[in-house]
């Protein structure tokens, strides 16, 4: 069994949820086994970025992006499904955590300005 850690961004997203939803998400990631991580299948995926192995877990309305380091699962990002930010991470585009947080807000504001101008 793994110990789970959450980044600041992940904790902020997690804290926005009802307690029952928080528990369900934590349960989903906590129940991952070494066997599942070795051979990921939906709803679990695996990709490499900058020499590191990342995993993506589909959990309801969210996508959890994490690394495994020894006995720890370090959840780096918790993103809403079907958002630009989720696409960028999934598409393996280079992006810092600060850019990740900024991108989501600014992209939607940009789209709003396009609809107002037409």
pLDDT tens profile 31-84: 999 999 999 999 999 988 778 899 999 999 999 999 999 999 999 999 888 876
pLDDT for 26: 94
3-117 CATH: 3.30.2310.20
pTM for the predicted model, two decimal places: 0.74
Residue 101, pLDDT above cutoff 60: no
Tell me how far apart the alpha carbons of residues 19 and 61 are, in angstroms, rounded to a whole number. 15
Domain ranges of the chain: 3-117
What does the CA dihedral 50, 59, 99, 106 come to, rounded to 10 degrees? 150
Q: Which position has the higher pLDDT, 88 or 60?
A: 60
Tell me how far apart the alpha carbons of residues 20 and 3 are, in angstroms, rounded to a whole number. 20
């Amino acid at each position: 069994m793994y110990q789970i850690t959450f980044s600041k961004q992940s904790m902020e997203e997690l804290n926005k949820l009802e307690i029952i939803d928080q528990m369900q998400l934590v349960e989903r990631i906590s129940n991952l086994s070494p066997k599942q991580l070795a051979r990921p299948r939906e709803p679990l995926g695996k990709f490499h970025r900058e020499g590191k192995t990342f995993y993506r877990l589909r959990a309801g309305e969210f996508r959890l992006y994490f690394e495994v380091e020894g006995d720890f699962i370090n959840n780096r990002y918790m993103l809403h499904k079907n958002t630009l930010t989720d696409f960028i991470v999934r598409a393996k585009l280079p992006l810092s955590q600060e850019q990740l947080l900024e991108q989501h807000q600014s992209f939607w504001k940009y789209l709003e300005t396009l609809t107002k101008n037409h």
